[in-house]
Amino acid sequence: MSTHAQVPSAPAPRWWRFGMAWLAFGLPASAVVASTLSAVIAIRHADPVVYEHRGAPHRPAAQSAQSAATLPAELARNQASLHR
């Protein structure tokens, strides 16, 4: 009869000793922190809404004095740009 002496096994290393655990927990945690920080910055430093138009006033083509003269050229230009 043979008896094998059992060697006591070493305890398993803790989770923080593995790099893959840091990767699995660290990447999602850093994404949550970064998105929260981005939301805070966007809310605190929001640009004001501009209600006035600072450009030249828009005149519809029917009211312009040159609309009848430039209409054929505009139609030809627009038609030519469709076939590219």
Residue 70 pLDDT level (bands cut at 50, 70, 90): low
DSSP state letters, 13-68 = PPGGG-HHHHHHHHHHHHHHHHHHHHHHHHHHTPPPPP-S--SPPP--TTTSTTHH
pLDDT band at 72 (very low <50, low <70, confident <90, very high): confident
Task: Please report the pLDDT score of residue 27 as a whole number.
Answer: 95
Residue 53 pLDDT greater than 60, yes or no: yes
| Segment 10-46, tens digit of pLDDT | 888 888 888 898 899 999 999 999 999 999 999 999 8
Q: How confident is the model at residue 64 (pLDDT cuts 50, 70, 90)?
A: low
